[in-house]
Structure 1
Amino acid sequence: MRRYEDNYKQKGLRKQLVDNIRQKGITDENVLAAINNIPRHYFLDTAFEGIAYEDRAFPIGEGQTISQPYTVAYQTQLLDVKPFEKVLEIGTGSAYQACVLGELKVNLYTIERQKKLFDLVKTFPYKSKYPTIKFFYGDGYEGLPTYAPFDKILVTAAAPAIPEKLLKQLKVGGKMVIPVGAQDIQRMLRITKTGEDEFQEEVFDDFSFVPMLTGKKG
């Protein structure tokens, strides 16, 4: 059974990582503190432990990745969450991004379509640190209408277009951050819901995400 240990070396590497992503342009000190507080190596296979604090993505199985820390910080900063906001995350993956949002004290609802990844997260002991995170196995395109509306929605996979059902689940005044594009490179968008059927779209930098797929995979 794996032991979870966060030693001085790992904490030092984490501080270097935070300094690195600060230099790349992340300015939200709450987001940087969340990255600094979370042992990223807990979310990876032990084979990656020695390189867990490099600023890059790593495979986690089922064709999925744990996102690059800069990307996690970038999306989180754009989302601009406040404590106790109700947030929907599409694509739990390793649960690293979910725990970053947990550090920011939001009430998080996170969906994973890959049953094997969902089951792994269910048995992951570190997530118990964040009782405000609720995990769901389901289709991200459908969202969670039962729990809507949400203050914020974060999509951590590349959508070919903005999913209409997710827009409907945003509160008026709410924001969604989503990478959009059908090719290898996507443009990061922030959508603000200004009325029941009115939206403002902001365009940011290019990124590369795994594709957002429909349905659930057992």
Structure 2
Amino acid sequence: MTIDYSHAREMMVEQQIRPWDVLDTRVLDVLARLPREAFVAEANRALAYADIELPLGHGQKMMKPVIEGRMLQALALQPGEEVLEIGTGSGFISACLGDLAREVLSLEIHPELAETARQRLDAAKLGNNVRIEVADALNWQTERHFDAICITAAVETIPTQLLKLLRPGGRMFVIQGKSPVMEAVLVKADGSIESLFETDIDYLLGAAPAPQFQL
């Protein structure tokens, strides 16, 4: 069976993303144009536009489209901005960020995921302004600063070492808390926090709560 991916994209935007208060026209346009199916495993192509998480290997998952839409909208990226992405994953969000901003640096802890994401970006002729580095973001050092930081997995507590990488006026999207009750927030460079929505996703490697032993 041949799938009409352009129709599937349109349905995803109209039936999933827009109803969840994603109204930013630039974000809706990116999600309606970019081929999400090109960033998932062949076996999961038919599910590329479904309202579910998709496995990426190494225990990682691709976010639901609705969360991707809310995340991109919250960041409110401008064409001249530089973005740091924590967790390249499939490379799809990297492509979206690259379409909305001037330059993206994406960190991925798993070398195989980083390589696959780069191959998928190149094959789709996307992400010319996206650089992918293999690194543990929680122990990564840089002199650079960014207008926006996008963390694509959950953390127990907001990583202050990443906040220091924001330029004045910058902001960071992060999902924080303890499963199953987590909160997506936008943290500004001045330390103010805007609550966005509740959700529950997997933790960033190294950012999960310590196991609690019950007597």
Q: Distance in 2 between matches of 1:143 and 1:175?
A: 19
- Unaligned regions of 5+ residues in structure 2, if any? 208-215
Between the aligned partners of 1:177 and 1:108, the Cα distance in structure 2 is 15
Establish whether residue 201 from structure 1 lines up as the match of residue 193 from structure 2.
Answer: yes
State the 4+ residue runs in structure 1 displaced beyond 6 angstroms: none
* CA displacement at 1:206 relative to structure 2: 0.8
Candidates 48, 51, 54, aligned match of 1:52: 48
Q: What is the TM-score of this pair, normalised by structure 2?
A: 0.89
Aligned to 2:204, which of 196, 209, 212? 212
**2:102 corresponding residue in structure 1:** 106
Residue 64 in structure 1 maps to residue 56 in structure 2: no
Cα deviation for residue 127 of structure 1 reads: 5.7
> What's the C-alpha RMSD, in Å, of the aligned pairs?
1.8
Pair 1:81 & 2:77 matched:
yes
Residue of structure 1 in register with 2:183 after alignment = 187
Q: 1:87–1:109: 8 Å Cα contact kept in structure 2?
A: yes
- Greater Cα offset, 183-192 or 170-179: 183-192
From 132, 138, 149, the counterpart of 1:135: 132
- Corresponding residue to 2:167 among 166, 171, 189: 171
Structure 1 residue runs without a partner (length 5+): 1-6
Spell out, residue by residue over 1:58-93, the C-alpha distance to the aligned partner (whole angstroms, 9 max, x if none).
Answer: 101110111111111101100111002011010100
1:141–1:40: structure 2 CA closer, same or farther, 3 Å change rule?
A: same
Q: Is 2:137 the partner of 1:145?
A: no
How many residue pairs are counted as aligned between the two chains?
204
3-state SS, counterpart of residue 53 of structure 1: coil
